[in-house]
Structure 1
């Protein structure tokens, strides 16, 4: 008696990757994404949550070593389609890059300056 089948753990694996894009015309109706690179990553089935946590450090290392200039960048952890292009994003983030480091937003003036007319005492 032959049984034909396949074990659940033998299901075909969907490839996953980190990708980095430059955001062109950020904040406008013409905003678009220029794909700079894709790196396929191996998913640890016992700890799949580790990959999204590594997205930002990977993106910052890529920006630092790649010599990318000032701009807004989009990093994503996603599945890959049949052509090896990013498909379904599982985690993502935008990074505003100075050319040498992350641009940090400045706090509003009200948070850094004392209010006028406020009594202190």
Structure 2
């Protein structure tokens, strides 16, 4: 047991702070990996729909950001007969927009947390 209780509490606070920071970074890495996979999957489906739908407008296409091999076209009998490509494309585009908005909001939250943590570390803030 430590002879100075204040030193022991400070050391414990530092250890918990380091653990919380590590958990936050781990969570952030996991979220970014999930988001990248989610976005790639949506872009892959979007690309597939554009290749297999003759009425889709090429100007509205969103190309994948990674270098993916082109998707081979399949016969029209392989796709569902009631595929509403326009509705699916709007869904994918809206999902991508929502994803971007959530990403921007989470980056702003992270910046605010970093600012508040730096304020806690300085003795002049409180």
**TM bucket by the smaller chain?**
under 0.3
Task: From the two aligned structures, give the one with the greater helix fraction.
Answer: 2
TM-score by length of 1: 0.23
Task: From the two aligned structures, give the one with the greater strand fraction.
Answer: 1
Structure of greater relative contact order (alpha carbons < 8 Å, 6+ residues apart)? 1
| Structure whose CA Rg is larger | 2
